[in-house]
Chain A
């Protein structure tokens, strides 16, 4: 569903639903924007949070938009994928740290539900070790420095290494400003995930999105 020739900006939302509605209303209309239901938002509101975001974004775009459910699946791949795909998600995430059985089941169930599978490599030193064990690849690999891991760096050199071997898209999460987004695209990332600036200054949503969007044109 994602076009490998395009670059995308993924904006993660974690505020309350009324605030999120306002923020999405301020976004420019663009196919290059992916809307993410963040993990805390899903855990707070459940799948109705996903449907809510889907509806808000559709209203803005005047057509269905792309919604990522940041499930961070660790077990019960099948149940969780079914729940978010019927809520309207276009993609879901699974932890690379999950048992291989879970990741495989997750990828299979995403394929069956016709949504994109994203595997989040947070806290994994060598993403290759995980990829080698999978019989089927996900559509997207997320290279990720967690919010709580404030001192670490995102390994941008992994992007080309992974792309040289596997036919997957690479998403980079955990950088928070224009500079880090620019350098992730420069290093050949397909998607950049941002949230903090939007979370902290929701009133600047329109301006922020415009600035970041310049990078993916």
Chain B
């Protein structure tokens, strides 16, 4: 695994367009604890160019996550994301178990981190139990549409400890965007906090915001 188990990370998801992405990346503080994500819409709009462009902008040392949300044809998708420069690649937990197994295997053989996104999965442990090998990272995720249209849906923080008690893997939390939610994730022992809303468009506050988030995540 490329990520360190002892560190806490801030993952900044870029979702609007490549021009905004460039402005945002330029303002980010240099830190090994920042992971830059090529969001799914960006990949679907620009293709793997979104990944390679972000890697180029963030620098050769940067850790880029490709939010491919793979559901099928794992091998093909892992290879194209890795070739474009991704260090971590995302597969959906709702996909067929065969897809997830192939995905993890391909990530391992290429040497990139495998991340399984548990959006809309009731019990992530049920999925983990079925896998041949566990992934490097599990993402607990409340989707954007879920957040928008069903405000009562919560991120299940209690699952973090549940999973970590049984598996030696990192946990990322996505779907909360305020400082309060970031604190809550870290308090509950998350290793990676994924944010996007505050980083959708670049502003004069982008740099400060990233620094503030980083301070919370220790």
Contact = CB atoms under 8 A, between A and B. Distances in A.
Interface of A: 14, 39-40, 42-49, 71-72, 74-77, 79-80, 83-84, 95, 97-99, 101-102, 104-105, 122-123, 146-152
Interface of B: 15, 40-41, 43-50, 68-69, 71-74, 76-77, 80-81, 92, 94-96, 98-99, 102, 119-120, 143-146, 148-150
Nearest to A79: B41
A80 B95 CA distance: 20
A124 B157 CA distance: 26
A142 to B, nearest CB: 12
A20 to B, nearest CB: 14
B98 A148 contact: yes
Contact of B119 (A47, A74, A80, A147): A74
The 9 residue pairs across chains A and B that have the minimum distance between CB atoms: A46-B47, A97-B94, A75-B143, A101-B149, A146-B72, A148-B99, A102-B145, A46-B46, A45-B47
Contacts of B72: 39, 72, 122, 146-148
Contacts of A151: 98
14 contacts: A43-B43, A43-B47, A44-B48, A44-B80, A46-B49, A74-B94, A76-B41, A97-B95, A101-B145, A122-B71, A146-B71, A147-B72, A148-B74, A152-B96
Nearest to A83: B45
A147 B73 contact: yes
A39 B73 CA distance: 9
B47 A95 contact: no
Contacts of B73: 14, 39-40, 147-148
A43 B48 contact: yes
A80 B43 CA distance: 11
A42 B80 CA distance: 12
A47 B41 CA distance: 10
A75 B80 contact: no
B143 A123 contact: no
B98 A46 contact: no
A150 B96 CA distance: 11
Most chain B beta-carbon neighbours within 10 Å: one of A39, A49, A102, A148: A148
Contact of A146 (B46, B48, B96): B96
B92 to A, nearest CB: 6
Nearest to B150: A101
Q: Which of A14, A39, A122, A152 has the most CB of B within 10 A?
A: A39
Given A43-B47, A122-B95, 18 more contacts: A14-B73, A39-B71, A40-B80, A43-B44, A48-B47, A74-B120, A75-B119, A75-B145, A76-B143, A76-B145, A77-B145, A83-B44, A83-B45, A95-B71, A95-B94, A97-B120, A148-B72, A149-B99
Contacts of B41: 76, 79-80, 83
A170 B14 CA distance: 36
Interface centre among A97, A99, A146 (most CB of B within 10 A): A99
A102 B80 contact: no
A148 B94 contact: no
A148 B47 contact: no
